[in-house]
Amino acid sequence: MKIDTSIITKLRKQTGAGMSDCREALDAANGDIEKAIEILRKKGSKIANKRAGKEATEGIICAYIHANNKIGALVELNCETDFVARNEEFKKLAYDLAMQVVAQCPLYVSPEDVPEEVLDKEKEIIKEQLSAEGKNIKMLDKITEGKLNKWYEEVCLLKQRFIKNEDITIEEHINEKIAGLGEKIKVGSFSRKQI
């Protein structure tokens, strides 16, 4: 089946993946854009896992100031090379992340960044709530784990739903960009200010 160039371009705009990756995904999906997106997302995860051991010592710092000039954020986004740091897709990703920080107020980059004492306190609060609700003691650990994962979705940037596409998390969005750009990308840090 011959895939029309306009469909490939549309998929590229939606995902940020390379033209050849988009063509391959559309071929595999028989021209179905939704299936092609799913194929690219799976490929992105595999590429991200391969690149995980690489050093991300280059990058940029990006600012987003909301229209009212009362809320803003700075995001440090790292990659492997200066070439990718200058790429428009990479800069757009950094800008989207800064906008996400302004909109969703995360406290940490990932669950691994949550201090042990904060995590212990959150577990204690959850267990007290569950005990007060009369939940089965045997199920407490499993329920606590589920509630902790929900809490991570609120306070950890990588686990939050992407404000421009609620179907994916920030982590998945970054993995898609890793697939498109072919380099490890990681959020170094962020800062949010509000008046």
pLDDT tens-digit map of 122-154:
988 888 887 777 777 677 778 888 889 999 999
HEC sequence for the chain: CCCCHHHHHHHHHHHCCCHHHHHHHHHHCCCCHHHHHHHHHHHHHHHHHHHCCCCCCEEEEEEEECCCCCEEEEEEEEECCHHHHCCHHHHHHHHHHHHHHHHHCCCECCHHHCCHHHHHHHHHHHHHHHHHCCCCHHHHHHHHHHHHHHHHHHHEHHHCEECCEEEEEHHHHHHHHHHHHCCCCEEEEEEEEEC
pLDDT band, residue 164 (cuts 50/70/90)? very high
pLDDT tens-digit map of 13-66:
666 666 777 888 888 888 888 888 777 777 765 555 555 566 777 999 999 999
Q: Flag the least confident range among 106-110, 173-177, 186-190.
A: 173-177
